Amino acid sequence: MPFDWIYGITINKAYSLIESSFQGFLDKDNLKFSYICGIHNVYSNTELNINFVHDFPQNPSSKINISDQVFAEVKRKYDRRIKRLYEILNTKKKILFIHYSEGACPEDIISLERNRLNLCKIFPQLKIDILYIYTKNTLNKKIEKINKHIHLVPMPIPDNLSPENRWIGNSKQFKLIFKKFTTNTKMKGRIFNFFKIKNKKMLVDNNFFND
CA 202 to chain centre: 10
Examine the domain organization and report whether 123 and 72 are in the same domain. Answer: no
User: 38: domain range?
Assistant: 6-88
Which of these three, 88, 121, 147, is where a domain ends?
Answer: 88
The DSSP bridge partners found for residue 60 are none
Examine the domain organization and report whether 200 and 139 are in the same domain. Answer: yes
More confident residue, 157 or 202: 157
- The answer to whether 19 and 116 have CB atoms below 8 angstroms apart is no
- The predicted model scores a pTM of 0.78
Q: How far is CA 120 from CA 131, 137, 149, 150, in A?
A: 16, 34, 12, 14
pLDDT of residue 65: 79
Examine the domain organization and report whether 50 and 145 are in the same domain. Answer: no
Examine the domain organization and report whether 138 and 35 are in the same domain. Answer: no
Examine the domain organization and report whether 76 and 117 are in the same domain. Answer: no
pLDDT band at 191 (very low <50, low <70, confident <90, very high): very low
Examine the domain organization and report whether 146 and 185 are in the same domain. Answer: yes
Which of these three, 66, 88, 110, is where a domain ends?
Answer: 88
pLDDT band at 169 (very low <50, low <70, confident <90, very high): low
pLDDT of residue 144: 86
Which of these three, 62, 88, 114, is where a domain ends?
Answer: 88
Examine the domain organization and report whether 65 and 116 are in the same domain. Answer: no
Q: Is residue 1 part of a domain?
A: no
Q: Is residue 23 part of a domain?
A: yes
Count of structural domains within the chain: 2
Examine the domain organization and report whether 82 and 97 are in the same domain. Answer: no
Q: Which amino acid is present at 107?
A: E
- Which of these, 138, 58, 53, lies nearest to 66 by C-alpha position? 58
pLDDT of residue 120: 93
